[in-house]
Amino acid sequence: MFDFVIPFIILILVVVFIHEYGHYYFARRYGVGVTDFSIGFGKELFGWNDKSGTRWKICWIPLGGYVKFFGDRNVYSQQDHQEMLEKYSKEDQEKLFVTKPLYQRSLIVFGGPLANFLLAIVIFLSIYMFIGKDFTPALIDEVQKDSPAETAGLMKNDVILEIDNNKVESILDISKLIAMSTSEYIDFKVSRYDQEILFKVKPNVVPAEDNLGNKINKRMVGIKLRPYKNEINHKKLGPAQALIQSVGEVYFVTTSTLKYLGSMLVGKGDSSQLGGPIRIAKISGQVAEFGIIPFLSMMAYISISLGLINLFPIPMLDGGHLMFYGFEKVLGRPLSQKTQEGFFRIGMFLLLSLMFFATFNDLKDIGLF
């Protein structure tokens, strides 16, 4: 387990730093004072003060981070604003987060998730430009007897064009698109004798192991693939095409994650695959053994997940604050302190429940349950 610690810490430090720097960047841009920029929670291990008075620090629990604004408090009411303003000079009032216009406060809060999405785009962009991307078409080399694919009508030598309306650009996309599918049937569009045909395949879900040896419930359709014309098409992309592909990958991961989480909420998704810090640490260590490119790819996916989760409309998350700002825009005033505190209690319960569930899955994954 200790082999996974260093890759996990590196991954978390980078992803969390980028997230918090997104908040910090917009805060400084709009003149909000920042007193603390912390990576981790708990006791400070080391840190330093910059010329603007911000304390940059690393704390001993590396499971997140925070940016603390000048005069910051968790919950505000209209009365709180006035009482607080009276405590500060005119110059200091300009540094307060709560004195800023609604759009500036919203951008400061949204800056964290935005930075995570941008980090993922930069990682994919770099990989596609300097390492390359695979564009090898996928040809069905074998359809297993009595498999879901055979039952649906797929045949040898079919070229797979789309899965669930997602274009298949590479043979490497097939397993990813099948795994991310949440419907009872998977739509396969194939080319057969220059005709495009659509098939609906109902996959079998079987216990299996992924490429890293971790136990998963795998969706199987019963096909074996090979490159079309037995030719590998791997090429480096120019900046514009790499950017388009990178944004497309971030969009695909984001929408697929939302669909998967939605399927779990209605009881159709496999909730056993939901993991927490222990599983992330384990997988990050395993991926790091395959080299820097797989590790960077995983960092991009974790960054997308962190950005997306923080946009959920749950109090205590960035999305919860944005939800409050939405109410403020509609009502013309902030919600009362009592209402906000009620939302925060609900948010705390939801987050603790999610953490408990993810940790329970993690412990099952390593054999403690």
CB within 8 Å of 341: residues ≥ 6 apart? 75
140: phi then psi, degrees, rounded to nearest 5: -75, 115
Best CA proximity match to 71, nearest among 101, 38, 95, 106: 95
Q: Are 77 and 333 in contact (CB under 8 A)?
A: no
Structure tokens, 270: 């496999």
Determine the Cα–Cα distance for residues 197 and 232; give it in Å rounded to an integer: 25
Give catalytic status of residue 20 as yes or no: yes
Query: Which residues neighbour 316 within 8 Å (Cβ) at sequence distance 6 or greater?
Result: 344, 347, 348, 351
Tokens read off for 149: 């694919």
Out of 20, 44, 86, 209, which one is annotated catalytic? 20
Kindly report the number of other CB atoms within 10 A of residue 307's CB atom.
26
User: In sequence order, which residues have a C-beta less than 8 Å from that of residue 331 and are 6 or more positions away?
Assistant: none
Q: Which residues are tagged catalytic?
A: 20
